[in-house]
Amino acid sequence: MNKATENKTREEWMKWLKYFKNHRYELCKEEYIALRDAIKKYPSVAEEFFFRTLDPMTKGFAHKVYETYNVVVDFRDIATCIYLAMYDSGKWSRWDTYRADCGIFAWISYCATQVVFTELEELHYIETNTDLTSKNTSLTLKSMRDKDELMMVLDLVEVPQMHELLTCIYLLRMTDEEVMKHMGMSEELFKKTRKVAETMLKECLISEGQMLVERADGKTVNLVSEALSDLSGKIKTSTSDEAMLAADKMFSDDDEFDELKEALEQFYPGMPWMEQWVNFVLDRAAELNWNEEDEIVFYERFYHHTDPVSLAKRLGRARTWIDNKFSRENKALVVYIKKWWSIYCR
């Protein structure tokens, strides 16, 4: 394996970054330190890292800004913002604080969240409400792996019917149809009850503020942070309905799905699961050698949820052409990911 080492030349680092972008693996502490120092030493390596290697992360940021605030921000502008904050007029003061106690991408993501949202607020692109509510938060229960911890969270809801419904959805992982049959609900009643139950759980979590538990490995975690994502300023997830449907189709078996999550944690360490999946899909799409127009259709429809009518007008195409193109791209991508998975993850 082509590992990151401290004795690489500038040219070797450039080649390694391009290799790593397509063959991500979990770096050891020594590699993180070597990469940190190379980025500071070689301007071209820094440019490659911040403006290309970090593309999945910056695209994820841009998507979350759009989802949360309906504001379009170019991911390259976000990359520039992150780079300038780390470069610090040549002093690299913030960058030097990285000691490889965690993955470099998780560390950058944490720093970038502060930097990017502060910049957007100062430019008056967004207004952040610091008070958490059921409307500016989302549940991330499906990303929780420990069933005991999940049960502790669900037990916050004391209304029997609401507790049972949430347990069926998040702990037993039943489908909507299975829950409706189990609880004797119509589709309309199920949707209304689920909305009330999830709102109730959000409000309970917000009220609790902290639910600290110590895991077997000695690590203490806050279950509120594990179960609730703050959409008002914290970036924790970045996904789309199309992405989750693709994941369900390709990895429908529970064992395969767990295997997928473990692999993505190695490829994109420190990121929330849904953001890992979206980045994985985007990286695989980039390997298909589509032409520029094909890339625009996929990226705009999959990533930005751009209206097909406005996209067709922009590209000078018929609405049906956009729909057919995006459908064919999704099918091609599913086939490619299955093949890629069988080669690299089996």
Q: How many residues does the chain have?
A: 346
pLDDT at 80 over 50: yes
Confidence (pLDDT) at 24? 80
Q: Are 308 and 330 in contact (CB under 8 A)?
A: no
- In this prediction, residue 189 has a pLDDT band, given cuts at 50, 70 and 90, of very high
CB-CB contact of 55 with 75 (8 Å): yes
Q: At residue 138, what are phi and psi to the nearest 5 degrees?
A: -140, 150
Look at residue 253 and tell me whether its pLDDT is greater than 70. Answer: no
Share of the chain above pLDDT 70, in %: 85
Residue bearing the bigger pLDDT, 87 or 111: 87
Q: What angle do CA 102, 104, 109 make, to 5 degrees?
A: 100
Residue 27 in this model has a pLDDT that exceeds 80: yes
Q: How many angstroms separate the CA atoms of 106 and 112, rounded?
A: 10
As given in the structure block, the two tokens for residue 333 are: 């991508």
pLDDT, position 240: 41
Q: Which helix (H) or strand (E) holds 221?
A: strand 220-222
Mean predicted confidence (pLDDT) in 109-127: 76
Q: What is the pLDDT of residues 213-233, one digit of tens each?
A: 767 776 667 788 788 876 544
Residue 341's pLDDT is 82
Alpha carbon of residue 247 to chain centroid: 13
Tell me if 260 sits within 8 A of 344, measured CB to CB: no
Model confidence, pTM? 0.41
82 touches 108 (CB < 8 A): yes
Per-residue pLDDT, 157: 92
**pLDDT given for residue 255 in this prediction:** 58
**Residue given tokens 């800004």 in the structure block:** 65
E strand or H helix at 310 = helix 308-315
List phi, psi (to 5°) of 328: -65, -35
**pLDDT, position 241:** 44
- Residue 36, class by beta-carbon neighbours within 10 Å (0-12 exposed, 13-18 middle, 19+ buried)? buried
Has residue 130 got a pLDDT over 70? no
Reply yes or no on whether the pLDDT at 169 is more than 90: yes
Q: How far, in Å, CA of 139 to CA of 156, rounded?
A: 14
Residue 259 above 60 pLDDT? yes
d(Cα 67, Cα 51) in Å, to the nearest integer?
22
Q: Rounded to a whole number, what is the largest CA-CA distance in the chain?
A: 67
DSSP SS3 for 137: strand
**pLDDT at 239 (0 to 100):** 34
* Angle, alpha carbons 180-189-152 (nearest 5°): 65
pLDDT at 338 over 60: yes
pLDDT at position 93, please?
Answer: 85
pLDDT (mean) for 2-20: 85
Distance of CA 114 to the CA centre of its chain: 17
Give 238's pLDDT tier (boundaries 50, 70, 90): very low
Q: pLDDT tens digits for 14-23?
A: 999 988 888 8
Distances (CA, A) of 334 to 16, 100, 239: 28, 35, 17
CA dist 327 and 329 (Å) reads: 5
Span of 174-183, 188-197, 226-235, 319-328 with lowest mean pLDDT: 226-235
pLDDT band at 234 (very low <50, low <70, confident <90, very high): very low
How far apart, in whole angstroms, are the C-alpha atoms of residue 171 and residue 62? 31
Q: In this model, does residue 246 exceed pLDDT 70? A: no
Query: What is residue 233's predicted lDDT score, i.e. its pLDDT?
Result: 42
> Each residue of 239-250: b (16+ CB within 10 Å) or e?
bbebbeebbeeb
Strands 137-139 and 228-230, sheet pairing: antiparallel
Assess contact for 27 and 100: CB atoms under 8 A.
Answer: no
Q: Residue 230: enclosing H or E segment and its boundaries?
A: strand 228-230
Per-residue model confidence as pLDDT tens digits over 28-66: 888 889 999 999 999 999 999 999 999 988 988 888 787
Question: pLDDT band at 95, cuts 50/70/90?
Answer: very high
Domain positions in the chain are 10-122, 137-230, 241-344
Span 260-314, pLDDT tens digits: 777 888 887 777 766 778 888 888 888 888 888 888 888 878 776 677 777 888 8
Confidence check: pLDDT of 186 > 90:
yes
* pLDDT at residue 251 is higher than 70: no
Question: Do residues 232 and 128 lie in contact, with contact meaning Cβ atoms separated by under 8 Å?
Answer: yes
Residue position matching structure tokens 């767990």: 258
Residue 212's pLDDT band (cuts 50, 70, 90):
confident
User: Which residue do the tokens 């069933």 mark?
Assistant: 147
